[in-house]
Structure 1
Amino acid sequence: MSDVDALLGMRRGPARAGGGGASFRWLLRRELVRFGRQRSRVIAALGTPLMIWLVLASGFAGSGGGPGGVTDGAGYGAYLVPGMAVMVVLFTSIFAAISLIEDRHAGFLQSVLVSPAPRWALVGSKVAAVSLVSLAQAVVILVAAPLTGVALTPMGVALGLAALLSISVGLSGLGLALAWQVDSVQGFHGVMNLVLMPMWLLSGAFFALEGASTWLRAVMSLNPLTWPSEALRWALLGESGLPLPLAWAGAGTFAAVGMVLPMVVMQRPVRQG
């Protein structure tokens, strides 16, 4: 039985009457199986940050600790840990957004939209899949972090995973909302380069917020990805360029917007590829 046949078969079940729980579980399982079969994407999402981490940490090893005022603590390699963990989440979120466009072209998305499955099940399944996969991959970054001198604690790891969860929900929701407006994978790559990558670059991944110039610091402070990234940095490194209440409040807000935004956008007619 194909995915489309299985989904349409829900018409005979209580998917909508049960609040969409059955639809959510089925769609989540499909997303996780899909991630497992696309090993090249999973490897790229983890391998690219690890490679950038190694190159930058080694390249700036003799440059006074790194750019952007990062001169203290365990060194630039340690400073990069939160940014590389966020990059893992970003890549996994991008792949999930691309899968939405692929589902549209394959006809599966249209089948979901006409089935009893509520739209929150579609959004929630993709967001949950991204969160599970990206958190599992980010653990690899955290395991390697002590090699750079990061002193992890159980509480720090728990808070770090909470910050990463808010980042994965926010980024995956934003990616899905953007993908809904784009009719091709090529077009989404343009959106990725224009919106998502600059958000990551200006989140403090490479240089500290407090070490940036005045105008750039203002831009970084307004970047919604900066807030949970600074919460993550505090959890792992014990330092943050923003007041902690603001960082954690921003992390929660970013996650909430990530859940609500795609459901609002998906009320509009689907773009045809």
Structure 2
Amino acid sequence: MSSLAYLTGRRLKVFVQQPAFLLITLIQPAIWLFLFGNLFRRIVDLPGFGGGSYVEYLVPGIVVMTAVSSSMWSGMGVLEEIDRGTMNRFLTTPARRGAILEAVVVEQTLSVTIQAVIIVLLGLLAGAGYPLTGVLFLVVAAGLLGVVFSALSNIAGMLVRQRETIIGLNTLLLLPLTFLSSSFMAPSLMPPWIRRIAHGNPVNWALEACRTALAGDIDWPRTGTYGGALLALAVLLVWLSTRTFKAYQKSV
């Protein structure tokens, strides 16, 4: 644990020294919230949507979309550590090997959590309203999603070791995963084939795990099922990323 704490603290120092990066990552979510939210605010009047405020419906979708977008760049940091030789120097220290990549995941998860809180606050300014329990569920779901895609990005970075691959993976996955979920549209209004795909989409799992809590009436079986699936996937991908790192160790 001491190795993980030290390595995470090291990465957090870099994060704190670059506050502009956090602000830049929030520009696009703010655009989606205030422009997209107002442009399509009447969509809640469609039969079957369920009424309410579209901004309230949209905020969780923007939170999970931002979680995916931000955490998918995690592999770029790993590649930078490799290129600078920092990764190899860590291998000569007593630090636990798994903690080297785990620190990257923890730092990305904390970053995603901060972004989620800020987006919720922006949503409140835009007129949305949520119970505190619902907000906590959303932040936890976004954090788990950050773990999933940060670990996935790290795996890609360690295996391929090309920045273009990380960029391409982010571009390839972000919008399809977002639109093949209930981020912007109620499931009842989706085409059947999109609903079927959404059932296996981790982004949708994060949304389904917290939607009822955000509405003020927690559906525990639904929340437990989707939240448990997201947690299991996060654990699996973190384990795979540590296995990938062991393969890297053998190659140097």
Pick the TM interval, shorter chain. Answer: 0.7 to 0.9
**3-state SS in 1 of match to 2:44:** coil
Contact 1:231 1:247 in 2 (8 A): yes
Among all aligned residue pairs of Structure 1 and Structure 2, give the percentage whose two residues are the same amino acid: 25
Residue aligning to 1:82? 60
How many pairs were matched up? 250
Could you tell me which of 158, 167, 192 is aligned with 1:214?
Answer: 192
Residue aligning to 1:133? 111
Contact 1:181 1:271 in 2 (8 A): no
Give per-residue Cα distances to partners, 1:245-264, cap 9 Å, x unaligned: 32222232233223222112
TM-aligned CA deviation for residue 234 of structure 1: 2.6
Q: Matches of residues 86-101 of structure 1 in structure 2 within 5 Å? A: 86-101=64-79
TM-score by length of structure 2 reads 0.86
TM-aligned CA deviation for residue 41 of structure 1: 2.6
Q: 1:101 to 1:168 in 2, by over 3 A?
A: same
Q: Which runs of 5+ in 2 are unaligned?
A: none
Q: Matches of residues 91-240 of structure 1 in structure 2 within 5 Å? A: 91-238=69-216
TM-aligned CA deviation for residue 238 of structure 1: 4.8
Residue aligning to 1:259? 238
Could you tell me which of 73, 76, 79 is aligned with 2:52?
Answer: 73
Q: Which runs of 5+ in 1 are unaligned?
A: 1-20
TM-aligned CA deviation for residue 56 of structure 1: 0.6
For 1:148 and 1:169, locate their aligned partners in 2 and report how far apart those are by CA, in whole Å. Answer: 28
Contact 1:70 1:79 in 2 (8 A): no
Residue aligning to 2:228? 249
Deviates more, 1:247-256 or 1:133-142: 247-256
**3-state SS in 1 of match to 2:185:** coil
Residue aligning to 1:9? none
TM-aligned CA deviation for residue 197 of structure 1: 4.1
TM-aligned CA deviation for residue 165 of structure 1: 2.3
Could you tell me which of 32, 35, 53 is aligned with 1:55?
Answer: 35
Give per-residue Cα distances to partners, 1:215-268, cap 9 Å, x unaligned: 111111111222122213233235899933322222322332232221122222
Residue aligning to 2:4? 24
Q: Superposition RMSD on alpha carbons, in Å?
A: 2.8
**3-state SS in 1 of match to 2:198:** helix
TM-aligned CA deviation for residue 144 of structure 1: 2.6
**3-state SS in 2 of match to 1:115:** coil
TM-score by length of structure 1 reads 0.80
